[in-house]
A and B are shown apart, each in its own frame.
Chain A
Amino acid sequence: MIRDDCPTVFALDRREILAGGLAFVGGLGLATPPAGSAAEATAWSGESAARFMELSSLLIQHHLNEGVGRRIGAAMSALNPSLAEQVTELLAIARKKNARIVEDFFPDLPEGPLKETALAIVSAWYLGVVTDAPDAEVFAYAHALMYQPTKDVMTIPSYAISPPNAWSAEAPRLSNMPEF
């Protein structure tokens, strides 16, 4: 029996899509900074990854997978050379407020790159991609947080929700937020 693997992506389109993806990243505050500050940017280290997880846990009060976090952090730092510094600054603001949850310190973030980076980190954990563009690498599918607030009802597409024909037609209340 002949089986063919399908090709992944075509090189020409990859370049075009990457360019589009970077433009979108700019909108999230991850655009490459001017040359001067890029030169001063801190390298992404194991310590940076640990701080990234610490900040992620302050930004998002749900179970976060460390392996996924390492990959998201590394991918974001490749697009944003200032990420390590921004993570440190964001952690400092959170500590100053003795923050335990995001609501404790998010209102204190100044408008601009810092806040945009915080939102970009939240977005990556929820969507499972750093940039939602056609060529983006997916870090999480079923574990992407976007599926969790509705997981008591809605199917995560391509995963079975129940035994055959055993799903419910009952509509739960909006206020019954599942734990995750």
Chain B
Amino acid sequence: MATDQSADVVVVGTGVVGCLIAERALDAGLSVLMLEAGPRVDRSRIVQNYRKLPPILRGHWDAPYPPEPWAPHLETRGAKEQEEYLQLEGPNARAYLQGYVRYAGGATWHWAGLSWRITPEDMRLKSLYGVGRDWPFGYDVIEPYYTRAEYAMGVCGPSDPALQWPANTKRSKPYPMGPIPFGPGERRFTEVAAKLGMSNLQAPQARNSGAAYDGRPACSGTNNCFPVCPLAAKYDAASALPKIEAKGGKILVNAVVYRIEAGEKNAIEAVHYFDPVKRSQRVTGSIFVIACNGIETPKLLLLSKDERNPNGVANSSDQVGRNMMDQPKLTAMLELSEPLWTGVGPVQSSSIVATSQGDFRSRYAGAMFRMENAARSALGAAAALKKGLVGKALDAEIRRLSACTAQLTVEHEILPSPGNRLTLSDKRDWLGINKPNIYYDVGDYVRQSAKEYSVPRLKELAAGLGATSFQLSPEFLNSDHIMGGCIMGADAATSVVDPDCRAHDHHNLFLPGGGAMPSGTALNSTLSMAALALKAADAVVDQLRHG
């Protein structure tokens, strides 16, 4: 059994990656201790927090998750708050304003649930298009882990291989559930896209479709996947925690790991954490998994420098904190001549993804297009009230502005670039720990795509929907898909982790998740993070059984 001080496997972080590894290790008979920087909060409290937000804050996904002082994360209630934690610089600093939750359960609390696989081509950018990096293994290696992740998280999706992604590509098993049906908006968007030669696919999503799955209820279309699913119909790691405890796993919350301790032969011997009264505690183990997300993990590695590891733990390559990626996003606000009617079904339930592929990727980025399906009633009402209307005219204008407006989104593939770098800021948080500082430039690869490819296509989609106005976001925005800071590769000189997400420098340290991904692609990263987690989990179990 794990104690508060020791376990076979010590997992730092309780998001999807940490939870999948913890459960796999427990199933293999290993003891597991999980350390979470933030608090553990009931779902009902978060739902209440959300409903008590004034309308102006209901689109701020972080707002129902006020952080504890010892575990700060991005807050966007005001401009000053927004600048408090993440220190951002560079030409596209705004595009790295990443939202994540330092609560037990991590960022899965407010993810949309979209669970795309990447394609064989996405893993061979360097070989095929001469840009970016190749993965150190092929699609055939990751495919079984994708399937396991889909079953572990409960991913619904279409059964027709032509409508799956990647299309007509071998899968070891079908999706565990059929797809979620469209509402009127997504159906209309799909028809419009088809006329333009673009296929808007029903998204695979970690949401229970039509039936309960794994102890969680079926989705009832509460249209609130972010900032919180009130039912737990969408997979979130918080719903996995009781299962981990039932299997004997131990979860310590409000434990802020600030140092990884390396010892003899550069093996990791312990992690050190602060509790909420700033007492330092030491936890030992046989294997350590750092899964705090793509920003907190490299930050912790850099914080842990010592005599043997003067650039930080796992950083002999000097790649820790470099290659920071996301999908740089642009949004277009449309007013339409005809009603579209979003707000029926999940907030995101489909995407145009084939546009992420093509030989053009030697010159500019692939892109993914989506119509946001969140209900627009609150936005419509606020806009109608500003016009000073009353009575029947007010109600009619609310209905019109809710039904006849839309937000289209395009997310781009960015290349890993060593200049896009996380370092330790001189500014410190409540505990005295350095805040993360990130320099970010989306690069010409993305800018060229926006100019030549993605924005023109976005305009075509808008015109197809009957847009009477098209308002493009003035700069690139964040997508909250944090990748690259612990990049994977076969060569220890140019990468941080090996194909099992094991640190090249430390045989008993694993750094799985988005940070390990060598290419970001234009699609949501969570399922790839989960697949890498399960691959790492197999390696952890194998290593402890066989040495």
Residues of chain A touching chain B, judged by Cβ–Cβ distance below 8 Å, are 1-10, 13, 16-17, 20, 59-61, 101-103, 106, 118-119, 122-123, 126-129, 131-136, 138, 141-142, 144-150, 153-165, 167-172, 174, 177
Contacts and interface: CB of A to CB of B under 8 A. Distances in A.
B58 A157 contact: yes
A119 B378 CA distance: 17
Interface of B, secondary structure class, is: loop
A146 B58 CA distance: 14
A157 B341 contact: no
A3 B42 contact: yes
Contacts of B404: 174
Contact of B221 (A102, A119, A131, A162): A162
A98 to B, nearest CB: 16
Interface string B362-397: 000000000000111110111001001011101110
Nearest to B254: A4
B398 A149 contact: yes
Contacts, number: 220
A127 B167 CA distance: 45
A36 B68 CA distance: 45
Interface of B: 39-42, 45-47, 49-58, 65-66, 68, 77-78, 80-81, 103, 180-184, 186-188, 208-211, 218-224, 228, 230-231, 242, 245, 251, 253-254, 339-345, 374-378, 380-382, 385, 388, 390-392, 394-396, 398-400, 402-404
B254 A158 contact: no
Contacts of A159: 222
Contacts of A127: 54-55, 381-382, 385
B221 A129 contact: no
A103 B54 contact: no
B41 A5 contact: yes
A1 B104 CA distance: 12
Contact of B339 (A5, A17, A163, A174): A174
A150 B343 contact: yes
Contact of A160 (B56, B220, B378): B220
B41 A103 contact: no
Contacts of B49: 6
B209 A165 contact: yes
B222 A160 contact: yes
A102 B391 CA distance: 6
A102 B389 CA distance: 11
A146 B182 contact: no
Nearest to A134: B77
Given A4-B253, A160-B221, A163-B220, A133 B56 contact: yes
Contacts of A8: 66
A138 B78 contact: no
B399 A168 contact: no
A171 B184 contact: yes
B184 A168 contact: yes
A133 B381 CA distance: 15
A154 B221 CA distance: 10
Given A8-B66, A165-B209, A171-B184, A150 B402 contact: yes
A129 B54 contact: yes
Which of A136, A144, A145, A171 has the largest number of chain B CB atoms within 10 A? A171
B377 A146 contact: yes
A128 B53 CA distance: 10
B190 to A, nearest CB: 10
A154 B180 CA distance: 17
